[in-house]
Structure 1
Amino acid sequence: MTTTPAAPASLAVGDVVTLDVGAVAHGGFCVARHEGRVVFVRHTLPGERVNAQVTEAREGQRFVRADCVEVLRASPHRVTPPCPYAGPGLCGGCDFQHATLAHQRELKSSVVREQFARLAKQDIQVAVEALPGDHEGLGWRTRVEFAVDDSGRAGLRGSRSHDIVPVETCLIADPRILATGVLTHDWSGDSAVDVAAPSEGEAVVVSVPSGEQDAPVVTEHVVAQTFSGTFEVSARGFWQVHPGAAATFVDTVTGMLEPRAGETALDLYAGVGLFAAALAERVGESGKVVAVESDAGAVASAAGNLAAYPSVAVVRARVDDAFGVPRASRSGPTRQRAQRQRKLRRHPLVPLRADLVVLDPPRTGAGRDVTAQVAALEPRAIAYVACDPSALARDSAFLAAAGYELAELRAFDAFPMTHHVECIALFTRTAP
């Protein structure tokens, strides 16, 4: 006699359920189950027993989301969050203020391991390393974008929400950001306000009205063990927000790749040229570095930042376009789009062979087509800088299929108190 599994229990937004909390999940949640239904719970830790209130429940979905509202059995790693806005229904910027800093890093290590086991079928061991430049995980964020509510107050958004939580402080923000008075000023008429605290000079405040607005340029100094340089970047452009990140990542990438004089290197998703500059110094004038970036502002900054290196060429293009990879539309290409795809050609400055490649893609990762094109260059080494471990694990599988093995992996706590973790991976050829 066969039995039909019971249907998962029906849960609605607002319901409070008692849960025994399991492992941490990617995204700042832990996993629990309630009568057959998976529950992703924020503000809790593995091993706890809690009462949780459902915050998201959609018909037909096999899981719901919830916030811990009462701890019945606490983890030994639980602490009182230092920030009054870190809690259910409040600011969504931090995920783990209720855990010790050491345990936060253990949780992030678990997430990286789980993503590689699930998506790349690889059993890896990695410990998340601290970066210099923050105090107990606080005061590190040198760039913050605040949302503005209908009353003109600057605040931060709730978790998975467009709701704005007015705040009087942000403990992970660099103190120079708060010293600008951004949280007490009336920003009526603006939709957001960005504040950047660069390594040189005072913090810069840029309000964002509904239209486009030019942002001032700030100066960032990078003093690493293997490289030092100065970079100009828009106050609203991309730059590593942790003060210890840029130098640490440059040292890690160049240490993994070990660039040699005369080599050809490709820096993909190059931003304002941080890795391209470090590579150029190592390959010298007899070598070649091609930096590919799509953002117009970043490309303009990179051209200035890299002007002193005659071996560097800066290419403004999407990385897939630079390789000549067609972009299929979600609904299938139209005839005109198909014609454009057939005319798409590899950018003339992108080499057919390269000794080294740096991949520093956005959160979505490089993807199957780009990793295939990178492998076709037959580099002796690839350094992949990833802000999302799931995208890195997925792309690791693609690279493995193309003949590149994961030779080294390091992870850094570049975003303390949040679920985010930065990984840098080295891939080397398994066979010619």
Structure 2
Amino acid sequence: MVKINEFAVERWMDDYETGAKHNLAETCCASVSLDDLHTFSGQETDAIDSSRKQTYGAIRGSEALRSNISKLYSSNTSAPLSSKDILVANGAIQANFLAHYTHIGPGDHVICHYPTYQQLYSVPQSLGAEVALWKSSEDKDWQLDLSELKSLIQPNTKLIIINNPQNPTGVVLCREVLQKIVDIARQHDIIVHCDEVYRPLFHSLGNGSESPPSILDFGYEKAISTGSMSKAFSLAGIRLGWIASRSSEIIESCASVRHYTLISVGQLNDSIATRALSDSCVDNLLDRNIRLAQQNLHDLGIFVRDYEGKATWFHPRAGTTAFVKFMRNGTPIDDVAFCQQVLEKKGVLLAPGSRCFGEGNDFKGYVRVGYVPDRQVLVDGLQALRLFMEEDFENLPLAAV
């Protein structure tokens, strides 16, 4: 491995998260407790059996957990997954790493959806691969250009990486776009990895709109989905994610590499995730999070509308994050200074786009807002942000040209 770039957004969160009064940079749906899960499930027994001895447990994840995860991929248009198609990992961050470390190396070429979570392109670069950023822009509603994908493909392209729903913009790739990506990948025998960590939190698609399917819905053997309990399922504290694929070769290859990084997830974590994804619980948990996302996003939308001319955005369709651009007289503000000052003066934590998501001069003036914390956190945070806009915004420096 070559030297890896600093993980900008995680460093930003590490530096500032614990001291913030109003954390509007958090990307998980408001966390839930074991008591909450007990209520959601309606079951009399606890999620954790305190009499069970704490061995390594099931190495790849318990049969019950992997079966419950496989149900998340159920569809009327594709064959069901089985527990054998799931490999449990220590969060989606490890699942992503395993998917990349297993399949790419020096001399390979990778195409990555952009902007996105930095891990998805920095890890391939650290493994010696050449990475081409498949860029989207707000003036095209952050949608991807399929003709550009075709132009980016090289003879040594090994992997196409996409993120759906997408962090930080909240955009979704529809079935038609996903089908075309798969068709292009199949034509060139390229693996497609879709980070689906925010799936299935589709809360603002519009009446009658179809929820976009998983990348595994298209019957392509060389497709990989990664997910976790952290974002849509409110359980970041159990550090549990997964790799899913219809290819036994991909699952077995990732499992072999996984031995070097993780023997098994903790039995307590496995048990909690199994309960959260059980038939009696999962729909209630997701309904709670979708309602919270819709309510909070409505308030964030009012904020953006009230500061028209200073703030603009693409209205998120899914997930938990929005990418808001702040300007003064049509010129982007210095988003890093903005985030530093609003934290210092009002206690509001946001993530600056140019530092946390940008390469070179990309995304100046953009700020990522995590809008699905507990209701009062969002309300109080937006009120503090409004005070900053009234008292301090005009004094912010503009972005350097």
- Quickly name the TM-score band, shorter chain normalised: 0.3 to 0.5
Q: Which has the higher helix share?
A: 2
TM-score, normalisation: structure 2: 0.35
Q: Which has the higher contact order (CA 8 A, sep 6+)?
A: 2
Larger Rg: 1
Task: Give the structure-1-normalised TM-score.
Answer: 0.32
The structure in which a higher percent of residues are strand is 1
